Structures are given as C-alpha cells and as structure tokens.
A = this chain, B = another copy of it.
Amino acid sequence: MNTLLQINNSITVQQALDFVQTPECGGVAVFVGNVRNVTQQKKVTKLLFECYEPMALLEMEKIAQHTIDKMGIKKIAILHIVGEKLPGDTVVVIAAASAHRAAAFAACEYAIDTLKETVPIWKKEYFEDGAVWVAAHP
C-alpha cells in the first residue's frame, strides 16, 4: 500500500515518516498542524474535533490517490486527530515522499489545502467566555 490514512486520538510525525520513507525516495515533505493558543486575539483554552469518520477516510483517500496518480508522489500519509486537544497539540500530519522534492512540496500543500475544504471534520474552539464551531458562519 502507498497510502496511510488514519483518524485517531493521538498521531505522531514519526508514524507518518516511518510509513512514507523508502530508499527509493530522496525527498519527503511534511506538514504538521498544531492547535494555536490564540484565535482572533482571544485565548483558546481547548479544542474539540468531531469527525464523520467513514466519509472522512474516503475523502482522505481521494486526496491521497490524486497526489499519487497526478502529482508524482510514491507514498503519502494523512493523519488527523479526533476528540479534545489543547494548545500546542498536533492535530494533523501529512507526509509525502517523492523522487523529486518539488513534487513532494506541491503534493503536501495540495493535501492540506484540500483536506481543509472537503474532509468532514469539525473543530470547536473553547474560549474563557464561550465556544464556537470554526468557520460555521459567514
């Protein structure tokens, strides 16, 4: 298999690297997304990630396959957490391995951009004075 897709309570960069790294690929591009401690000048106390898991895995699979079929990627890992997280915690890891580093960067950026648009995962930000579902309203 050339793709590793996981939705889990805990994910690590090492997991993604261990999967994609092979002696045939010179370059691996990785994106690591972490919880920020401040959003729009407000202190974030915690986050909740909810997920429609079977569909999320299918959408992640579409993204991964596109990078392999069309963008020159040999192996790709897309990992995303669910559940409660604190500022600083890692919520998403994407690692793409290719013989050519430009392809690895392009695929990694495509994967995170598309994940944020299409994969059914929802983030609720908790502040000292309330909580909001991110991006729900215009």
Contact = CB atoms under 8 A, between A and B. Distances in A.
Contacts of A108: 29, 105
Interface residues of A, number: 31
Given A13-B17, A112-B101, A31 B28 contact: yes
Interface string A3-37: 00000000001100100011111111111111111
Contacts of A104: 31
Interface of A: 13-14, 17, 21-38, 87-88, 99, 101-102, 104-105, 108-109, 112
A31 B28 CA distance: 6
Nearest to A116: B101
A32 B23 CA distance: 12
A34 B29 contact: no
Contacts of A35: 23, 26
Pairs A-B, 5 closest by C-beta atoms: A30-B30, A23-B37, A28-B32, A23-B88, A23-B87
